[in-house]
Amino acid sequence: MNVERVKVYTEQLQQGMYVQDLDRPWLESPFMFQGFIIDSVEVLHQVRDTCEFVFVSVEESIGDIRPRLMVLASQPPPKRSKPPRVKITPDDNERENFLAALRRSRKTYDKTRTYIDTALEDVRLGRSIDTVQAKQLVSDLADNIVRSPNAVVWLTHLKNRDEYTSIHCINVCILAISFGRCLGINKVDLNELGLGALLHDLGKMKIPLEILNKPGKLTVDEYEQMKQHPTYGHELLKQHDDIPLGALDIVQHHHERKNGQGYPDQLPEFKIPLLTQIAAVVDVYDAITSNRCYHDGVPPYDALNYIYRWAETDFDLELIEKFIKCLGIYPIGSLVVLSTNETAVVISASDKTRLRPIVMLIQDRERKFYKIRNFMNLALPQWSEGPTAVKIQGIVPPEEQNIDLRRIVDEESRPVQ
Q: What is the pLDDT of residues 95-151, one digit of tens each?
A: 788 888 999 999 999 999 999 999 999 999 999 999 999 999 999 999 999 888 999
pLDDT at 162: 66
Which class does domain 97-327 fall in?
A: mainly alpha
pLDDT at 329: 84
Residues whose CB falls within 8 Å of the CB of residue 242, separated by 6 or more in sequence, listed in order: 131, 132, 135
Task: Please give the Cα distance from 28 to 82 (Å, whole number).
Answer: 24
Mapping DSSP to helix (H, G, I), strand (E, B) and coil, where does residue 13 land?
Answer: coil
pLDDT tens readout for residues 208-240: 989 988 888 899 999 999 999 999 999 999 999
pLDDT at 87: 44
Label residue 389 exposed, middle or buried (CB < 10 Å: 0-12, 13-18, 19+): middle
Residue 215: how many other CB atoms lie within 10 Å: 8
Task: Please give the Cα distance from 89 to 375 (Å, whole number).
Answer: 8
Q: Phi first, then psi: give them for residue 155, nearest 5 degrees.
A: -70, -15
| CA nearest neighbour of 279 among 214, 241, 334, 233 | 233
Q: Phi first, then psi: give them for residue 277, nearest 5 degrees.
A: -60, -40
pLDDT at 310: 94
Q: Phi first, then psi: give them for residue 292, nearest 5 degrees.
A: -125, 175
Mean pLDDT is lowest, of 3-7, 121-125, 265-269, for 3-7
**Res. 295: pLDDT tops 90:** no
**Res. 88: pLDDT tops 60:** no
pLDDT at 112: 96
Mapping DSSP to helix (H, G, I), strand (E, B) and coil, where does residue 348 land?
Answer: strand
